[in-house]
Amino acid sequence: MKVRFAPSPTGWLHVGNARPALANWLEARKRGGTFVLRLDDTDTERSKPEYAQGIEEDLRWLGLDWDEFFRQSDRLERYQAAAERLKKAGLLYPCFESEEELNFKREQRRKQGRAPIYDRGALKMTAEQLERALANGKQPYYRFKLNTRTVTWRDGVLGERNVKLPSLSDPVLIRADGSFLYTFTSVVDDLETGITHIIRGEDHVTNTGIQIDIIEALSGRPNRIYFAHMPLLTDAEGGQLSKRLGSISLRQFRRDGIEPAAITGYLSALGTSRDPVPAAPRDLVADWDITRVSHSPARFDTKQLLALNRKYLHALTFDQVRDRLPEGADEPFWLAIRGNLDLLSEARDWFDVASGDITVPEQPEESGLLRAALEALPPGPWDETTWPAWTAAVSAATGRKGKPLFLPLRRALTGEEHGPDLKSFLPLIGRDRVRTRLERSVA
């Protein structure tokens, strides 16, 4: 087995990219295969070095590695050689129609009740007409002459699939400026690098029918590559996720503090009957089975992802997060706050609460309770017995119990209405900060 993940470095990776990347990696590792990272960077205007670097960084962050790597921009001569073979076979032909002319032709066909596909008008050009067009300085673009058949394959996820080639326009493989399109370069690379399985999104199904035709034209071998198409992701309401991909890039999740194990665990289970479990890719290999993926679109719910992230964070030891916590944070701090975190980035806020100078709300309506708390403030040193003993003394002095007792105190000490268990968090704040904050709340 040899698989590939082939992103274009024209933007940041998002969860829609990460899902097939993870699926390919898991297939390769499960079956002792080779995983190739290929950058499809022939679009020189949109491809950027920072995106190329970002792709590698984001994949490594997820826990994915690769056995081989190359860029399409380093293989232009191979595409040119393959194009010459197709030209000699009469399967790659020059066209000169402008976009305006093509639009006119499509509109005419619609009025005639016919499919608005390319009419192969360029194939009717005589040798003299072709020479005249070239002599007049026109630059041709090249289309691939599709077979007049229905391409059929057994898809690894979707089952039997058919694409009727006569219902499609002959695809443009080479632009007028001589640059190659993905439909063509991908086939050349897949054949020449020995790719055996292609796992990608369902939006490529029609493209697969075209590429199978090109594969057979270049290799002379049917069924050379095995295809599997994963249904696309939707949002939690079933809408198109693509409209929101900018807000769910891997880079943004990383900045927000989402753990990569939460993402990989969630994506590996999406569209299957399995309950997602946060886990690094290496820990997902044993249970991976692409045949479990449903034919239906899978819903990507950020609430479920956050729940997984919480579950993962709450089980992490101090040693596992030590290098990502604020400087000065120790194990007691981590143990006190981890059960209250949705995102690791929130640890910074709680570190400020524990050791910084924060703004707490004034609570003049609670002045009696807060003054009683000041008067009952126990001497140091403080430990986990301090909070229950202190609140018991305040309760005895004021008659307050439950929420009317604890909530005003929590607001005064942390500035928040919810947070870590104060039995373990209070000693981290310390007696001096507690006194200062109580005095400010009374003011």
pLDDT, tens digit, 9 for 90 and up, residues 27-51: 999 999 999 999 999 988 899 999 9
What's the pLDDT at 240?
73
On whether both 439 and 339 belong to a single domain, the answer is yes
Q: Are residues 132 and 253 in the same domain?
A: no
- Based on the fold, state whether residues 361 and 299 are members of the same structural domain: no
State the virtual CA torsion across 317, 323, 326, 330 in degrees, nearest 10. Answer: 40
Terminal-to-terminal C-alpha distance of the chain: 71
**Residue type present at position 224:** R
CATH number of the domain at 84, please. 3.90.800.10
Q: Return the structure tokens found at 301.
A: 């719910």
Sole residue written with tokens 């005419």: 108
Shared domain check, 334 and 438: yes
134 and 190, same domain (yes or no): no
Q: Of 190, 207, 233, which one is at a domain's C-terminal end?
A: 233
404 domain residue, yes or no:
yes
CATH code, domain carrying 53: 3.40.50.620
Given 140, 167, 194, which residue is the final one in a domain?
167
Same domain, 344 and 425: yes
- Do 328 and 437 belong together in one domain? yes
Residues 6+ apart with CB under 8 A from 174: 83, 92, 141, 142, 180, 181, 184
Beta strands 197-201 and 172-174 are unpaired
Other CB atoms within 10 Å distance of the CB of residue 167 = 12
Considering the domain architecture, whether residues 349 and 415 belong to the same structural domain is answered as: yes
Indicate if 261 and 313 belong to the same structural domain: yes
- The verdict on residue 176 lying in a domain is no
Say whether 153 sits in a helix, a strand or coil: strand
Domain contains 173: no
CA distances from 299 to 16, 67, 231, 244, 270 (A): 11, 31, 10, 13, 7
d(CA 411, CA 438): 9
Sign of the C-alpha dihedral computed for residues 103, 109, 114 and 118 taken in this order: negative
358 and 429 share a domain?
A: yes
Q: Which of the residues in the chain have pLDDT under 50? A: 243
Helical pair 431-442 and 403-414, crossing angle rounded to 10 deg: 110
Tokens at 149, concatenated: 């058949």
CATH of the domain at 278: 1.10.1160.10
Last residue of a domain, one of 280, 297, 319: 319
Residue 215 in any domain: the answer is yes
User: Is 172 part of a structural domain of the chain?
Assistant: no
Residue 48 assigned ligand-binding role: no
Secondary structure element (H or E) that encloses residue 50, with its range: helix 49-62
What's the domain count of the chain? 4
Considering the domain architecture, whether residues 131 and 229 belong to the same structural domain is answered as: no
Closest CA to 144 of 98, 192, 94: 94
* Triad 245, 251, 255: Cα angle to 5°: 120
Question: For 328-379, what is each residue's pLDDT tens digit?
Answer: 999 999 999 999 999 998 999 999 999 999 999 999 999 999 999 999 999 9
3-class DSSP state of 304: helix
Which CATH number characterizes residue 400's domain? 1.10.10.350
Report pLDDT for 247.
58
Residue 392 domain flag: yes
Query: Can you tell me the distance from the alpha carbon of 288 to that of 269, in angstroms, rounded to the nearest whole number?
Result: 9
| Domain hosting residue 31, numbered range | 2-73+181-233
- Would 175 be classed as within a structural domain? no
Q: For residue 37, is it within any domain?
A: yes
| Cα–Cα distances in angstroms (integers) from residue 89 to residues 118, 144, 147, 172, 217, in the given order | 20, 11, 13, 16, 9
Q: What is the C-alpha separation between 130 and 140, in angstroms, rounded?
A: 10
Q: How far apart are CA 232 and CA 126, in angstroms?
A: 45
Q: Are 62 and 199 in a shared domain?
A: yes
- Two tokens at 428? 């981290």
